[in-house]
């Protein structure tokens, strides 16, 4: 099978490696089937999309809506590299699934309005599929309402007209959308289980997502919810687009 490509931006090794392991586990991928590039550390090498089954983008510290003059050189480089690659991905309608920061990258590339209006602290929220989700192959068999883990400082406030809204929640109207037929982004994390979410709360307790003194309370709260449906979406993406 051609591998998938994971474009990662987490600078903390424990979070970066946990994310990679989660994408492998819930995507049903062996390590040799998921090629990772840590963009916060290394420039994006030349990418021949024909060598891959699809492209995944994980979460990370960058916010697309930060004013350009406040973005550091690494973020500016990463955004330029991702934008150039997305030019080809979108033109070819090449399989793409962006999680959390993937919403900012694909959304910004396609003209979405992204800002802090619908930010969410680390938590489990109830996600509801839209009527358009009923005919989407990635969501076949997924429950119409399900809990999912979130944690983000920005989100899509307005989608471009050509995007298809697939899932929403009370606190964040755009939880999942599709561009063309094969380009997807989720605001929630399709790779996160409870241990992964608890680990992220510890790693990012001083990053401004929530008051640091609330970390233990948040860890306890996320453990009270069983999250399983989002992982089905990740697995469906891998199974649908895996190429020999």
CA pair distance 120, 152, nearest whole angstrom: 5
Tokens of 76: 């500016």
For the stretch 130-142, pLDDT in tens is 999 999 999 999 9
For the stretch 68-96, pLDDT in tens is 999 999 999 999 999 999 999 999 999 99
Q: Taking Cα atoms as reference points, which of 20, 93, 94 lies closest to residue 54?
A: 94
CA pair distance 63, 75, nearest whole angstrom: 9
Burial of 65: CB neighbours in 10 Å, binned 0-12, 13-18, 19+: middle
Residue 244 has pLDDT above 90, yes or no: no
Q: Taking Cα atoms as reference points, which of 23, 24, 59, 54 lies closest to residue 39?
A: 59
For the stretch 177-198, pLDDT in tens is 999 999 999 999 999 999 999 9
Please tell me whether residue 37 adopts helix, strand or coil conformation.
strand
Please list the residues that pair with 129 across neighbouring strands: 167
CA pair distance 131, 125, nearest whole angstrom: 19
Supply the pLDDT for residue 197: 96
Supply the pLDDT for residue 102: 85
pLDDT-based confidence at 149, cuts 50/70/90? Answer: very high
């Amino acid at each position: 099978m051609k591998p998938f490509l994971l474009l990662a931006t987490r600078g903390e090794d424990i979070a970066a490696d946990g994310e990679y392991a989660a994408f492998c586990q819930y995507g049903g991928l062996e390590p040799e089937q998921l090629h990772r590039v840590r963009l916060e550390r290394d420039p994006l090498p030349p990418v021949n999309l024909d060598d891959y089954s699809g492209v995944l983008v994980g979460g990370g510290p960058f916010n697309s809506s930060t004013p350009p003059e406040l973005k550091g050189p690494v973020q500016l480089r990463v955004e330029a590299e991702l934008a150039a690659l997305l030019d080809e991905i979108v033109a070819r309608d090449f399989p793409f699934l962006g999680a959390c920061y993937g919403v900012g990258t694909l959304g910004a590339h396609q003209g979405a309005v992204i800002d802090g209006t619908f930010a969410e602290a680390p938590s489990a929220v109830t996600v509801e599929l839209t009527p358009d989700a009923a005919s989407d192959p990635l969501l076949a068999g997924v429950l119409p309402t399900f809990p999912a883990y979130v944690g983000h400082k920005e989100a899509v406030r307005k989608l471009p007209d050509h995007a298809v809204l697939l899932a929403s929640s009370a606190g964040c109207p755009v939880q999942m959308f599709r561009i063309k037929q094969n380009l997807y982004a989720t605001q929630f994390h399709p790779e996160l289980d409870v241990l992964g979410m608890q680990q992220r709360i510890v790693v990012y307790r001083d990053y401004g997502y929530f008051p640091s003194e609330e970390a233990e309370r948040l860890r306890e709260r996320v453990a009270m919810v069983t999250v399983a449906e989002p992982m089905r979406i990740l697995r469906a993406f891998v199974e649908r687009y895996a190429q020999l």
